[in-house]
Amino acid sequence: MGAHHRTGSPAPAILNEEKGPRPAPKFVEWLMGLPAGWVTDPEHGMTAAQQNTALGNGVLPLQAVVALDALQAGTEPR
């Protein structure tokens, strides 16, 4: 299942040309299945590089669900 089906919105631009081609934070945020603006809202005051760092250090919500379910069941994640 693609991220479009999880988020209900189409993918933003993949690359950001700021300081050379880099993944666009809005695309990474969307790909991870996070709500729009979760990391990229301008009110957070982060640069694109800081946003990508935060996203890169984040956990996918679907990963967290699997891990928490496994912990509750006392089993190893698949």
Domain that holds residue 11: 3-73
| Angle in degrees, CA 70, 32, 61, rounded to 5 | 25
> Does residue 69 lie in a domain region?
yes
CB 16, CB 25: distance < 8 Å: yes
> Does residue 24 lie in a domain region?
yes
> Does residue 78 lie in a domain region?
no
What pLDDT sits at residue 56? 94
> Does residue 27 lie in a domain region?
yes
**Domain count of the fold of the chain:** 1
78 residues of the chain, pLDDT tens digit each: 455 555 677 777 777 766 677 889 999 999 999 999 999 999 999 999 999 999 999 999 888 999 899 999 987 766
**Other beta carbons less than 10 A from residue 55's beta carbon:** 20
> Does residue 51 lie in a domain region?
yes
> Does residue 61 lie in a domain region?
yes
pTM > 0.75: yes or no: no
